[in-house]
Structure 1
Amino acid sequence: MIARYSILFLFCLLIGSANAQQNGFDSLIAAFGPRVGPMYKDTLKPPPTIYRGEDFDILLSDSIYGFKTRIHKIYNPESEDEYPLSSSVLFKERMISLFEPGQFRCYTLFDFQRDLEFEKKLNQKKFKSHWLIDEKLYAKSGGSYWYFENEQWNKSKKLPLKDKTSFGALRLLYSNDEFIITGDCHGEWGGTIYFYDRESRETYITAATCANTVTRSDKGFEVLSHLGHGGGSADLSLISDPRKLPKLADQTEQRLREINAVGYVDSTNHVKTSFDFYWIQIFSRFKWNDRYLYIVNWMERTFLAEIESREVSIVDPLFNSDLYTHDPITTQTNNGLVIMSVDYYIWTGQNKEVSVILFDGNTFHKVEWYDKLY
């Protein structure tokens, strides 16, 4: 009976893509193909556990969560450069994106129509980049930092985070009343996560290659990282008290020159690993209905999963596509909205936001950027 079931399962793999319903597990399994794992050395197994690896297992959930998905194509009306200058943010119930020549585009949620009146208020200057900190919109213009409040731009004496170090540009990952958390990434040479203590003004550091999501729980700060180098890797780390990490100010210039990523100076063993997987990538982590969901990339498919110990349980095919990103950033608002900036290393030699994924609790919206229509 087992042998007959296995033969039937492999046969279904061959015909699954033709017969499967859209967004069903069958079409996702068919897309994986019969050979999986490192160097395609393994055979896909019958469900529920379709793959057993050295670090992790892939399972199919008992049922699909069945989230809705929508794709929105948005064209830059002013420039042939379709990609934003910095990561899009959610501000005042709008998605705020910055395009060449330094002008904001504001889109209402979730029909993604332009709010021209609000754009007029924001576009009093030309800006180079923007961030959302303390529910305020910050932006850089003419070498100065500004924040939008009381329907106008106000000059900031100092941006409440460093936007770059001698190691390169910093990406904003998370902020609360205690810390502003940023990260940098140097690919296979490593990455660092920086915890800026708002009270003491000290910055604490540790390695994270490369952090894409920071979430806060009663245990502390949980940092999801991934890297696409080689076969790919992903890890989740717990930092219960960032103040127990090394201080950036205590590191000598000579010591910093000796390492590829400044976070490698951390020898405190304070960081605890929840999981550490190879031959898989995990792009995002966010909370939904008191549980954590992950956007996972495996065997050139990207899907939604839950993770418990070494078990990666697929709960939804998501867009049922090969969606890929190099250095994404995911944040979640106080009312639960999720925004994921999906970047890609484009032909110009730069990482650019090529799309945005937003999740309202029921529907995943994917906004794809295009240059202007002629």
Structure 2
Amino acid sequence: MHPWIADRTTTFDSSGIRKVFDLAAKLKDPVNLSIGQPDFDVPEAVQDAAIEAIRGGKNAYSPTQGIAPLREALRQEIAEKYPHEDRDVFISSGTSGGLMLSILTMVNPGDEVIFLDPFFVMYPALLKMCGGVPVAVDSYPDFRLDVNKIAAAITPRTKMILLNSPANPTGVTASEAELKAVAELAAEKNIALLSDEIYSRFFYDGEFASPASYNDQTIVIDGFSKSHAMTGWRVGYVHGPSEIIRTMLKIQQYTFVCAPQPAQWGALRAMEVNLGGHIEDYKRKRDMVFDALSDCYEIAKPGGAFYMFPKAPIDSGAKFVEQAIERGLLIIPGNIFSSRDSHFRISFAASDEQLKRGVDILRSMAGGSV
């Protein structure tokens, strides 16, 4: 290792998802069910608002906390859902930026942070960067949020519980009762509760629920990246107790500075865009893929996001993905998201034609080794 490289960079590896993307570049006409972003484009009204901002000279730094009209619109929306006495909001550089600032603000070296396994790939990496200790709680085989498992993982060093519902990579959504139980446990134990809700609008069965409804100290991370296909625009937001938010802003001043100003004006317009058609379309895609695969794969039916996490028909999910790639199908091995190597992730954020081709390949592989 180069002598100038910091020790903290050795505690985690590059994202395995990027390695699959590198493989994709080498294939001709692959069936790509690996990408974690919508397959529709940014709504034209949002594009127009950003262009107007650029042409109107709104290209400088914004205030660190974000442009006032966007913050005010979010504050009103949040206050309607969570009428807490002490809740503020700021604009982060994507939800990834919000995650980083949240962990930097609340996690000291040696503090333990509990989250479910499978998990979003960034969670353990960000924690290790900040000196935190990841505590992954096994949620196999159904990937439910089990308050008893969470409670059993708590130690005197537990600082935070990190939730993600709807979840990446499983698509599983926690029930209102499950979220309430964990929210009350965190309050009882005086443990920080961080809720990653970036897929909150991709919710197909019933109504979306947040632990913030049951614990007024919950810190919530959300954004526009997935809902409005604005993944490259880097506009997220974080809301929670005002002192926590002020501290995050102090760190943002010296790191990200602010989210891109023209993109924030686009996000303001995005709040007026009706996403109902896209959500219904993704629910249809979810049903189409699940119905086509559930008779030959073990799958927990996703209630949100745009992922499924089937169990591979052979002993190694990673080996199964290699076999799928040999057939021109790009999916993600489950061991990128988990301590187990038994599953793989499908993204159904793809065209119907791609999904049908992918389903055909997976059905042909369902018997095991090929």
TM-score by length of 2: 0.24
TM-score by length of 1: 0.24
Greater relative contact order (CA < 8 Å, ≥ 6 in sequence)? 2
Q: Which has the higher helix share?
A: 2
**Bigger CA radius of gyration:** 1
